[in-house]
């Protein structure tokens, strides 16, 4: 009797917690969840997971149930008068407990092997190829079919199979978009592929992507975004990306012409920045899912002069004679042909800075250019703000090292933001 009520004491709350978990699990959509897949690849893996989980649950309940039953049913009561019958070898039992695991393994192995072959198969003809190149700690994306190079954000049309060709520029990385499918490693000197088809019934959406293979200091900040858009939206995005940079292929004279676009002055300090509304929407003015917004704090000691207005025309001059051009390419700006950092040709059309870490607004961009190494530890991009402390060189940036004052940075911000 005493044993039974103690059992109830343990089981009742346990059951309530399990039921509560089961109900809440279905009640909400979680960011970065693999349980609502939006491609055939995601669904295959989800199916396999469900199958294994179901079988494992059945085994668990049967085994633990039998165990608990036997423990209580045959517990030592002190009233036993003689030893129970002793069994040595039991052919039927032996056969049963060999057969059951064999059957379970069969139920696991058949779909597993089938899905391994399915997910490793070569992609069908007609897929959209996207070359993915991992860098510490950002993503380069190339569309050979359209001759486009971009970074950290991919656009793919719903309903068309995409074949990602995975390579790395430095160390191992891994490509993963939890809600669409994945993951697969990017290995130096070795090409991997992963392909899937975003569901054709999907409305235009944005998904988070991650590096899931530790690759150094800022591995956790190596994110990307996938925009699944309608075919017509994709076509217009492609057309936009194929054009050279929209702002001034030839450098205009300083001071800037009246028509030069300007940006609102970046605010003065981190606290103010954090409270700014995140000023971008996508796709095409549809609000984004809240969870796809970057949420990376700004270093508290990184400030920017109040009330500056940038000039894109001046900014192009400053940019084109600064260190930037050695690392960044802007198609249409003949002096900017570097390949160390992300291609900036259409930087103004991206929603984030620095591999999904900060919203692409003038305020964040100004701080990024001023001290990228404070915003994202370890990056190759140097600290460029005059008198800013470079955490890697462990000294402040001087004029002779190419240090830029806040007005020059505001001008570059105006220039880069105009590159839609
Ligand atoms: C030594 C090479 C180097 C120099 C010089 C350099 N950058 Fe960078 N830049 C990088 C790298 C690498 C990244 C990617 C960092 C990351 O996200 O991890 C980057 C990222 C950026 C980004 C974010 C791009 C994106 O899509 O997320 C911008 C904007 C940028 N740099 C602007 C500039 C400007 C403006 C200058 C000059 C004032 C400059 N960079 C100088 C290497 C460089
Ligand atoms: Cu990584």
* DSSP structural state of residue 254: S
pLDDT at 306: 81
C-beta of residue 308 within 8 angstroms of C-beta of residue 258: no
pLDDT at 251: 37
Q: Helix, strand or coil for residue 185? A: strand
Question: Which residue has the least CA distance to atom 18 on ligand 1?
Answer: 137
Q: Give the ligand 1 atom nearest the CA of 326.
A: 5
Q: Is CATH 3.40.50.10740 correct for 128-242?
A: no
- Whether the per-residue pLDDT at 283 is higher than 60: the answer is no
- Whether the per-residue pLDDT at 284 is higher than 70: the answer is no
C-beta of residue 166 within 8 angstroms of C-beta of residue 129: no
pLDDT at 185: 97
User: 251 C-alpha vs ligand 2 centroid, how far in Å?
Assistant: 38
* DSSP structural state of residue 385: B
Question: Which residue has the least CA distance to atom 41 on ligand 1?
Answer: 324
Where do the domains of the chain lie?
30-77+87-121, 128-242, 262-417
Rounded distance, CA 98 to CA 100, Å?
Answer: 6
* Residue the block writes with tokens 């995601």: 42
pLDDT per residue as tens digits for the range 341-359: 999 999 988 888 999 898 8
User: 192 C-alpha vs ligand 1 centroid, how far in Å?
Assistant: 27
Helix (H) or strand (E) holding 210: strand 205-211
User: 186 C-alpha vs ligand 2 centroid, how far in Å?
Assistant: 10
Query: What ranges in 175-242 are assigned the alpha helix state H?
Result: 231-242
Question: Which residue has the least CA distance to atom 12 on ligand 1?
Answer: 341
With a pLDDT cut of 90, the percent of the chain lying above it is 57
CB environment 99-130: b (16+ within 10 A), e (fewer): eeeeeeeeeeeeeeeebeeebeeebeeebbbb
pLDDT per residue as tens digits for the range 49-60: 999 999 999 999
Rounded distance, CA 396 to CA 252, Å?
Answer: 32
List, chain by chain if needed, residues with CB within 6 Å of any ligand 1 atom: 137-138, 151-152, 319, 322-324, 326-328, 340-342, 344, 347, 350, 353-355, 369, 376, 379-382, 384, 412, 416
Beta-bridge partners for 129: 163
Binned at pLDDT 50, 70 and 90, residue 407 comes out as very high
Binned at pLDDT 50, 70 and 90, residue 280 comes out as very low
pLDDT at 28: 58
Query: Of 366, 368, 251, which is closest to residue 308 (Cα–Cα)?
Result: 366
User: 372 C-alpha vs ligand 1 centroid, how far in Å?
Assistant: 8
User: 210 C-alpha vs ligand 1 centroid, how far in Å?
Assistant: 20
When mean pLDDT is compared across 5-14, 116-125, 190-199, 307-316, the lowest value belongs to 5-14
User: 137 C-alpha vs ligand 2 centroid, how far in Å?
Assistant: 7
Which ligand is in closest contact with the Cα of 411? 1
C-beta of residue 373 within 8 angstroms of C-beta of residue 382: yes
Cβ neighbours around 241 below 10 Å, total = 19
User: 180 C-alpha vs ligand 1 centroid, how far in Å?
Assistant: 29
Give the mean pLDDT of 187-205: 93
Please state which CATH number belongs to domain 30-77+87-121. Answer: 1.10.287.90
Q: Give the ligand 1 atom nearest the CA of 380.
A: 12
Q: What is the DSSP string of 54-69?
A: HHHHHHHHHHHHHHHH
Rounded distance, CA 412 to CA 419, Å?
Answer: 11
Question: Which residue has the least CA distance to atom 3 on ligand 1?
Answer: 381
Which ligand is in closest contact with the Cα of 340? 1
Using CB atoms within 10 Å of the CB of residue 88, give its burial: 0 to 12 exposed, 13 to 18 middle, 19+ buried.
Answer: exposed
Residues with CB under 5 A from ligand 2 (ion): 173, 211, 215, 219, 222
Rounded distance, CA 331 to CA 149, Å?
Answer: 10
pLDDT at 3: 52
pLDDT at 404: 95
pLDDT at 95: 95
- Whether the per-residue pLDDT at 165 is higher than 60: the answer is yes
CB environment 3-18: b (16+ within 10 A), e (fewer): eeeeeeeeeeeeeeee
User: 342 C-alpha vs ligand 1 centroid, how far in Å?
Assistant: 7
Which ligand is in closest contact with the Cα of 416? 1
Q: Average pLDDT of the chain? A: 84
Binned at pLDDT 50, 70 and 90, residue 279 comes out as very low
Q: Is CATH 1.10.760.10 correct for 262-417?
A: yes
User: Secondary structure of 67-118 in the HEC alphabet?
Assistant: HHHHHHHCCCCCCCCCCCCCCCCCHHHHHHHHHHHHHHHHHHHHHHHHHHHH
Cβ neighbours around 355 below 10 Å, total = 26
Q: Helix, strand or coil for residue 156? A: strand
C-beta of residue 173 within 8 angstroms of C-beta of residue 187: no
pLDDT at 29: 61
Q: Give the ligand 1 atom nearest the CA of 218.
A: 18
Ligand 1: residue of 222, 327, 382, 397 to mutate (most ligand atoms within 8 A of CB) is 327
Phi and psi, residue 44, nearest 5°: -60, -45
Binned at pLDDT 50, 70 and 90, residue 297 comes out as confident
């Amino acid at each position: 009797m005493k044993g039974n009520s103690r059992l109830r004491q343990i089981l009742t709350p346990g059951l309530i917690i399990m039921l509560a978990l089961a109900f809440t699990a279905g009640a909400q959509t979680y960011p970065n969840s693999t349980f609502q897949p939006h491609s055939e690849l995601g669904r295959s893996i989800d199916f396999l997971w469900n199958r294994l989980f179901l079988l494992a649950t059945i085994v668990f309940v049967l085994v633990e149930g039998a165990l608990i039953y036997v423990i209580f049913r045959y517990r030592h009561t002190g009233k036993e008068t003689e030893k129970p019958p002793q069994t040595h070898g039991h052919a039927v039992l032996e056969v049963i407990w060999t057969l059951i695991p064999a059957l379970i393994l069969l139920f696991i192995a058949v779909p597993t092997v089938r899905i391994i072959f399915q997910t490793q198969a070569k992609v069908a003809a007609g897929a959209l190829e996207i070359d993915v190149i991992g860098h510490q700690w950002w993503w380069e994306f190339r569309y050979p079919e359209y001759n486009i190079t971009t970074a950290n954000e991919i656009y793919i049309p719903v309903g068309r199979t995409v074949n990602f060709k995975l390579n790395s520029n430095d160390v191992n990385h891994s490509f993963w978009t939890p809600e669409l499918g994945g993951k697969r490693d990017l290995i130096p000197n070795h090409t991997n592929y992963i392909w899937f088809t975003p569901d054709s019934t999907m409305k235009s959406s944005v998904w988070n992507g991650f590096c899931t293979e530790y690759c150094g200091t800022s591995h956790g900040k190596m994110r990307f975004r996938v925009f699944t858009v309608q075919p017509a939206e994709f076509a217009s995005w492609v057309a936009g990306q194929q054009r050279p940079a929209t702002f001034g292929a030839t450098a205009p004279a300083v001071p800037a012409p009246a028509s030069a676009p300007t940006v609102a002055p970046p605010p003065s300090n981190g606290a103010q920045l954090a409270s700014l509304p995140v000023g971008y929407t996508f796709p095409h003015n549809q609000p984004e899912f809240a969870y796809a917004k970057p949420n990376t704090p700004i270093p508290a000691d990184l400030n920017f002069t109040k009330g500056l207005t940038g000039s894109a025309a001046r900014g192009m001059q400053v940019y084109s004679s600064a260190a930037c051009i050695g690392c960044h390419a802007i198609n249409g700006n003949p002096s900017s042909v570097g390949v160390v950092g992300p291609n900036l040709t259409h930087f103004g059309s991206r929603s984030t800075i620095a591999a999904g870490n900060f919203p692409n607004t003038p305020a964040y961009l100004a701080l990024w250019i001023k001290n990228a190494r404070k915003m994202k530890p370890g990056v190759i991009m140097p600290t460029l703000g005059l008198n800013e402390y470079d955490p890697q060189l462990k000294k402040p940036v001087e004029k002779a090292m190419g240090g830029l004052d806040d007005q020059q940075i505001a001008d570059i911000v105006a220039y880069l933001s105009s590159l839609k």
